[in-house]
Amino acid sequence: MLIASWWANFEAWAYNAAPVFEIFFVFAIVTILVLLLRQMPRTKPQEIKPDSDSAIGWDDIAGVEDARAELQEVVEFLSAPERFARVGARVPRGVLLHGPPGTGKTLLAKAVAHESGARFYAQSAAGFVEMFAGLGAARVRRLFRIARKNQPSIIFIDELDAVGGQRGFGLSGEKDQTLNQLLIEMDGFKSQDRLVVIAASNLLEKLDMALLRPGRFDRQIYVSPPDVHAREDILRVHVRNKPVGEVDLEMVARQTAGLTGADLANICNEAAIFAARRGGAEILNEDFDHALERVIAGTQSRRVLNDHEKEVVAYHEAGHALVAEMLPAVDRVHRVSIVPRGRALGYTLNLPDEDRYLKTREELIDYMTMLLGGRAAEQIVFGAVSTGAADDLRRASEVAGAMITDYAMGTTVAVTGRGSPMDERVSEQTLRLRDEEREELLHSARASATALLSSNRATLNALAAELQTQEVLERAAIERIVAHAAPPRPRLAAAARREPPSA
């Protein structure tokens, strides 16, 4: 009886207190939602005003003259649109800068904004997409709304491929929604809008075709790595505010073939660090030499090799250097070192006399011969090979594969054209022929390297001996040692080449 009375009283109390619990529950839900919204990532586009101290002009960039000439029209449109409107012309709504990383795509966009007096709004494409559905599209709308309110303006979207990839392959569909919103915003431009979208991407082939059609990214500009003259101009820009002594920047530019503007900026900074480390008041040639070694070969390692390992590395690098000196198609050797740097126990630095963009079949075979020269030297001298040639084998295999599948430089016409094993258009016979052709090229290069080093064994021994003593050999020492080496017979590889495989 007592329990029943207590239960009845509890039920009455609970019934009267129900509204209070409901209010508390609603308040808890609202509090949790507010906390979640506060924790949700917020991205704000980076804004650079034309008169900002961080603004970059044409004088601050170099080595991209072709891209600069294309973008000059955008500058003129944003600064004087009436001249274009008079003849019914309109500026491209979007400009896509594509090319290897570090070639200056972001700097070009900032320079356009500064030179035209437009506001610059930068946003990484990866910052649009989050785990919350619809958030990326909302951020795109917000970015364009801000830019339209502050015309003339430039929207710069970096790494466009983060959201601009082909649609239909995402699991959540969030990237597709973000891309759709970007397409809608770019289609919504009015003819009188002084708003230009500039985007940068390293993967042009992966972008959705709807982005690349006229009316969206009308103009696509390839920003290529700089040539030797452009590299010298870039170096002069980066040392402009540094105390530089007697430094041959033309030689530094020749030594940095294939490097981008970002790499050159890093080299100038490393040279300044080396100058400060030695307590110098100016940056000298030796500082740039140390910087080049650090950037190209890696930081010096504290690993200590035993006498046998040091001898193996010396013969390995001597094999590379001697084969390179014997083959005129290979770039000249500038420096040979057996000082461990990074993951490498030694390195051979080859420098081209000039920038080249085309290579023949024979030149590529000579290059593979140089790559396999270190392994061939180990086999000749020690009768065995070591694991030190792993990177050489990988690079030689890549060159041989490209010669067959990309350049059709094999001996069988039927094995041209790139294709993966999963490609139905490539038969098993074609794949077998490709493997045989690649093996044939590698065998030819290895046989050439072995023949060259065997016929110049005394020079190989002299190079290796001096390397073990000096650890680093410069160009003058290399020329002195190999001066009396026997020249290679014409197309030495042909003598040792096996018969081409039959179809």
Q: Three-class SS of residue 260?
A: coil
Indicate yes or no: pTM above 0.95. no
Task: Please name every residue paired with 153 in a beta bridge, in sequence order, or none if there are none.
Answer: 119, 195
DSSP symbol at 415: G
Residue 451 makes CB contacts below 8 A (sequence gap 6+) with 492, 495, 496
Say whether pLDDT at 48 is over 80: no
Number of alpha helices (DSSP H) and beta strands (DSSP E) in the chain: 20, 9
DSSP symbol at 221: E
Q: Which of 300-314, 328-342, 382-396 has the highest mean pLDDT?
A: 382-396
Measured in whole angstroms, the distance separating CA 124 from the mean position of its chain's CA atoms is: 18
70, 115, 232, 317: the active-site residue: 317
Residue 258: which pLDDT band, with cuts at 50, 70 and 90?
confident
Residue 1: which pLDDT band, with cuts at 50, 70 and 90?
low
pLDDT, position 494:
36
| Residue of 493 and 403 predicted with greater confidence | 403
**Rg of the Cα atoms in the chain:** 32
pLDDT, position 422:
44
Token couple for 242: 């540094």
Residue 66: which pLDDT band, with cuts at 50, 70 and 90?
confident
Contact criterion met (CB below 8 Å) for 262 and 295 = no
Q: At what angle do helices 390-405 and 428-455 cross, to 10 degrees?
A: 130
Which residue type occupies 149?
K
pLDDT, position 497:
38
Residue 170: which pLDDT band, with cuts at 50, 70 and 90?
low
Where do we find the tokens 């809008």? 193
* 207-216, 338-347, 417-426: least confidently modelled range: 417-426
pLDDT, position 90:
76
Where do we find the tokens 């059609």? 213
Which residue type occupies 386?
S
Helix (H) or strand (E) holding 456: none
* 256-260, 263-267, 374-378, 390-394: least confidently modelled range: 256-260
* Phi, then psi, of 40 in degrees rounded to 5: -65, 135
Active site residue 428: no
| Residue of 214 and 48 predicted with greater confidence | 214
pLDDT, position 420:
47
152 upstream amide cis, omega within 30 of 0: yes
| Residue of 436 and 426 predicted with greater confidence | 436
Angle, CA 426 vertex, CA 422 and CA 431 arms, to 5° = 90
CA distance 306 to 256: 33
Percent of the chain with pLDDT over 70: 80
Say whether pLDDT at 220 is over 80: yes
Q: Three-class SS of residue 154?
A: strand
Measured in whole angstroms, the distance separating CA 144 from the mean position of its chain's CA atoms is: 30
